[in-house]
Amino acid sequence: MRSTMMDAPLLVSRILEHGATVHGASEVVTWTGAEPRRMSYAEVGAAAAQLAHALRDDLGVTGDQRVATFQFNNNEHLVAYFAVPSMGAVLHTLNIRLFPDQVSYIANHAEDSVVIVDSALIPLLAKVLPQMSTVEHVVVVGGGDPAPLAGSVTIHHWDDLLAGKPTTYDWPELDERDAAALCYTSGTTGNPKGVAYSHRSIWLHSMEVCMPEAFGLASTDRELAIVPMFHAMSWGIPFAAFMSGASLIMPDRFLQGAPIAEMIAALQPTKAGAVPTIWNDVLGHLATGSSLREAIVGGSACPPALMDAYAERFGIQIVHAWGMTEMSPLGSVSRPPAGATGDALLAYRDSQGRFPAGVQARIIGPLGEQVPADGESVGELEVRGPWVTAHYLGEEEPDPEKFRDGWLRTGDVGTLSADGYLILTDRAKDVIKSGGEWISSVELENVLMAHPAVLEACVVGVPDERWDERPLATVVIREGSTATPDELRAFLAERMPKWQLPERWSFIQEVPKTSVGKFDKKRVRSDYAGGALEVHTLD
Amino acid sequence: MRSTMMDAPLLVSRILEHGATVHGASEVVTWTGAEPRRMSYAEVGAAAAQLAHALRDDLGVTGDQRVATFQFNNNEHLVAYFAVPSMGAVLHTLNIRLFPDQVSYIANHAEDSVVIVDSALIPLLAKVLPQMSTVEHVVVVGGGDPAPLAGSVTIHHWDDLLAGKPTTYDWPELDERDAAALCYTSGTTGNPKGVAYSHRSIWLHSMEVCMPEAFGLASTDRELAIVPMFHAMSWGIPFAAFMSGASLIMPDRFLQGAPIAEMIAALQPTKAGAVPTIWNDVLGHLATGSSLREAIVGGSACPPALMDAYAERFGIQIVHAWGMTEMSPLGSVSRPPAGATGDALLAYRDSQGRFPAGVQARIIGPLGEQVPADGESVGELEVRGPWVTAHYLGEEEPDPEKFRDGWLRTGDVGTLSADGYLILTDRAKDVIKSGGEWISSVELENVLMAHPAVLEACVVGVPDERWDERPLATVVIREGSTATPDELRAFLAERMPKWQLPERWSFIQEVPKTSVGKFDKKRVRSDYAGGALEVHTLD
């Protein structure tokens, strides 16, 4: 039996129209260091129509052409967020922090036709533009000198383009499963990979972001959106703000602790979202008595001491959110269950939280079998749902390293509790597969580094004839201290199961690091394989 | 460009699985007058699987067969809410309060195969069952005597059916646009008309119900669901509860003020939803210091004095919601905008509120043209969106009296403000169409009834050669008072535009009423047409 419901597609243009009319008096405010720049949502709606007219009539954008942004979080980036998908084109948010050859790779892979760039980012774009082979137009926002961009592209000025254009647009009726926006993940190996969000997935994800179990956005909120709009769509907050009527505060390029604390004092956000590093930077600058009640933290786990500091000194609750670009990005949020208090409450707070109905989750153990949600059985987290990607852009078949039977393999390892809470402990590639069981390298490292003589410890899996893999412990001894492999193994043995204890030990001068300062485990494994490490093997 | 997102359908079975696992410890509690009956959401999930097995294996339910419920709000009704759509069948909630011939008409029109009935409702079902031509099975919940149901149907007992059945079920992958549930509207004229909600519309509506701008349901909430589950799906609260993890409190047949106040004291809901009559009944019984923070009121506007009483005496905010069975049912909710205070705040509170992104609204004026959202231009409200019906069940073409160009004509007349607030003043059929302008009969009545000599006043439109329609005022004079048509018109003239003043006046003994106590305007118009009224015509 077919339902009698209307066949109304879930389109970004409807979110735009809703925000620009019902919540037309809500506003987006961009920090400038001086007087903030304000636009009402009604004005954003008008400007989005003008931009769409300009893209279509002046730049010739048609169909599903890609329009890229190379911008900070600001009013004009918000206008582009709505104008481009609403007109049927595809918004591509370029990540300004990637290596230049990654940026041009991405622009070429997506076949971007247009790039919208903030004046302040002209020098950065100028470095990569010559390698962008499909870009024909660049739109410059603000008054900077566009000369460095000169070459084979046509340069336009945002204000000139929009001036005099009609402030309404007859948005097309699209298929809700068409692509609306593109975002590339910057994996640690290989080229970045594209994820194409649909109008439908953006709609459903926006509703989720607004739900109380997630960010709980309401029209009475003012959300400080610190997460870059070029990073996983700023966690979907711009779209969710137009859906709920929450006002937006945009930091533009002012992402240091001091100006963010100033924004909080001056513009009175009720909620905010950022990575832990930012919250750490802000802490020393924040004034008491701010309106901020809640800060969402994602990207990595927040140190409990930082959460305590915000709660105790400012009455600000820090809430963990976990997700991935591949997930639009919202997965789980660590809201405690009703009635939790004391240590249990803290444990819930420190977890990665619970999943919404739109994200189904399962834990796959070392043998490829689903393990129970009992808070103890460890495995790789897999997810699926209407705002999770099924494959990467341009892949003919889903990559089996990242997808399995219609599920996304997150590459994160941990447990799910009986009451639905996720606790992540390792990246899958850092787990040591020993005789059908998994050993957490991170756990071994943490215990080793608690030994007074150990400055750094990096544990990796190395090939073993009998057990497939066994842990190799590489250890940097603190200056002036001494310790033997036997002593360190005895120290571990008091705290870890016997079968997890490393046989192989190597004392090194320094753990090799990646460009972002993480342990370079690939390098450690290749050093071992190449015989570059002096290894002591215990019985 | 197609998106890369997973093609994951929005199915009721996913809402069930989510609630039964992630929020498995949340609970539904049914009031009994004695010890409440509790089930965890995990237990609801297990019972839903058992019921689905029973319906399929024992009763032979296949495909999209209709399974009807004839039940109060209780645990078993909740189990049926999830089991029937999840297995691919269609849940049909029969309204126990309709006239018997309407109930049987609906069951026959829907071709119900099975009826699940509460023991307490056996006598009522027994009256209509012989006229239900497609029902083959009746499932009795509870220990009542099923003898009155004996006849051509097979009688089953809920507990016996479920006993020993597997507690999991391999829910089928359905099309999200398939019908999940059926609800009939009981219009004032003609036969009831069916609305078939889809899995998709239930999903989107459930997310909306959870959003802070709507009911704001969270896992920490305990929602007292007073609105019957046979009336517009209890406003979608059962599905939204499983989506958010909010616990449910079910009143079963105890719908009077005293037991509801008892439930509130004993079971500590945080939120509740009901029609104004119920809140009026509860007021005198409610104890102070309850956990209830917010009560949603729908069905009709809540008297401001009642809202004040709840706010002042109990700190309970009453919030208006407006919707229709045709809208799943949620339309607008009267949450005030940020910063509203004083009289403005009260005006927002008394309005019908703002629409969500999922419901587009427009006002159509007397000449069929869209009028501006300026808070002044009056017309009929029309809506559309993914949880609004496109037509009634079985209609080949949408009825033009109820649908226009893909929009639902709500039959309600009012204004939309520039900031999105709806204020309804009349039913469209009670508006007087005079020379291309509309006159509100309700407004004339309210002003007339403020005259000290007037006990009741009922104003209807009657045919007029020059103006198409003009108002006829029928007035009941208070005992011991007197007034002439000229005096009453002079009283009106001080408060209303001249062109709206009635020329035709009739003094009557009593305004005829409908079975539910409303003015019977159809009767007044036919009395006038038939010459049964003595009419004074002023110049």
Residues of A belonging to the active site? 185, 326, 433, 438
Q: What is the DSSP string of A426-473?
A: EEGGGEEEETTEEEEHHHHHHHHHTSTTEEEEEEEEEEETTTEEEEEE
State if pTM tops 0.90: yes
* Lowest-confidence region among A35-39, A285-289, A293-297: A285-289
Q: What is the DSSP string of B126-155?
A: HHHGGG-SS--EEEEESS---GGG-SSSEE
pLDDT at A358: 98
Does residue A187 belong to any structural domain of this protein? yes
Name residue B184's beta-bridge partners: B194
Pairing state between β A468-477 and A504-507: parallel
For residues B538 and B485, the answer to whether their CB atoms sit within 8 Å is: yes
B228 and B360 co-located in one domain: no
B352 and B476 co-located in one domain: no
Residue positions counted in chain B: 539
A396 and A511 co-located in one domain: no
- Given the structure tokens 């402030």, which residue do they identify? A167
B379 and B398 co-located in one domain: yes
A 10 A CB-CB count for B85 gives 30
B87 and B167 co-located in one domain: yes
B231 and B369 co-located in one domain: no
pLDDT at A191: 87
Pairing state between β A271-274 and A317-323: unpaired
Tokens of A133: 């082979």
Q: How confident is the model at residue A325 (pLDDT cuts 50, 70, 90)?
A: very high
Residues of chain A contacting B243 with CB distance shorter than 8 Å: 356-357
Query: In angstroms, what is the C-alpha Rg of chain B?
Result: 25
Cβ pair A4:B389 closer than 8 A: yes
Q: Residue B224: left if φ>0, alpha if ψ -120 to 50, beta else—which one?
A: beta
Cβ pair B392:A201 closer than 8 A: no
Distance from CA of B254 to the nearest CA of A (A): 27
Domain end position, chosen among B195, B221, B255: B255
Catalytic residue, chosen from B136, B277, B433, B443, is B433
Amino acid at B179: A
A157 and A64 co-located in one domain: yes
Contacts of B496 (CB under 8 A, 6+ apart): B443, B444, B447
Does residue B486 belong to any structural domain of this protein? yes
Residues of chain A contacting B27 with CB distance shorter than 8 Å: none
**Quick check: A253 pLDDT over 70?**
yes
Separation between Cα atoms, residue B309 and residue B239, nearest integer Å? 31
A423: CATH: 2.30.38.10
Secondary-structure percent of chain A, ordered helix, strand, coil, rounded to 5: 30, 30, 40
A 10 A CB-CB count for A534 gives 9
Separation between Cα atoms, residue A26 and residue B537, nearest integer Å? 52
Does residue A214 belong to any structural domain of this protein? no
Does residue A297 belong to any structural domain of this protein? no
Phi first, then psi: what are they for A381, rounded to 5°?
-80, 130
pLDDT tens across B199-251, in order?
999 999 999 999 999 999 999 999 999 999 999 999 999 999 999 999 999 99
3-class secondary structure, B363? strand
pLDDT at B139: 98
Does residue A448 belong to any structural domain of this protein? yes
pLDDT tens across B269-314, in order?
999 999 988 999 999 999 988 899 999 998 888 888 999 999 999 9
Q: Is the peptide bond before A329 cis (omega within 30 degrees of 0)?
A: yes
Amino acid at A347: A
pLDDT at A366: 85
pLDDT (mean) for A99-127: 96
**Quick check: A249 pLDDT over 90?**
yes
Does residue B292 belong to any structural domain of this protein? no
Does residue A78 belong to any structural domain of this protein? yes
B398 and B453 co-located in one domain: no
Out of B18, B19, B201, whose CB is closest to A3? B201
Q: Could you tell me the residue range of the domain that residue B517 belongs to?
A: 435-537
pLDDT lower than 70: segments of chain B = 187-189, 516
A128 and A20 co-located in one domain: yes
Tokens of B188: 């004032």
Out of A6, A9, A25, whose CB is closest to B388? A6
- Identify the burial level of B280 via C-beta atoms within 10 angstroms of its C-beta, where 0-12 means exposed, 13-18 middle and 19 or more buried: middle
**Quick check: A334 pLDDT over 70?**
yes
**What average pLDDT does the structure give for chain A?**
95
Cβ pair B212:A218 closer than 8 A: yes
A365 to A359, A382, A438, A470, A500: CA distances (angstroms)? 19, 11, 8, 18, 17
Domain end position, chosen among B222, B255, B288: B255
For chain A, what is the domain count? 3
A426 and A439 co-located in one domain: no
Q: CB pairs below 8 Å between A and B: how many?
A: 215
Pairing state between β A536-537 and A504-507: antiparallel
A140: CATH: 3.40.50.12780
A393 and A482 co-located in one domain: no
* Closest listed residue to residue B412, CA positions, set B531, B275, B301: B301
A456: CATH: 3.30.300.30
Residue B433 annotated to the active site: yes
Chain A nearest-CA residue for B88: A1
Separation between Cα atoms, residue B326 and residue B339, nearest integer Å? 33
Domain end position, chosen among B229, B255, B281: B255
Does residue A306 belong to any structural domain of this protein? no
Cβ pair B4:A220 closer than 8 A: no
Cβ pair B211:A207 closer than 8 A: yes
B403 and B463 co-located in one domain: no
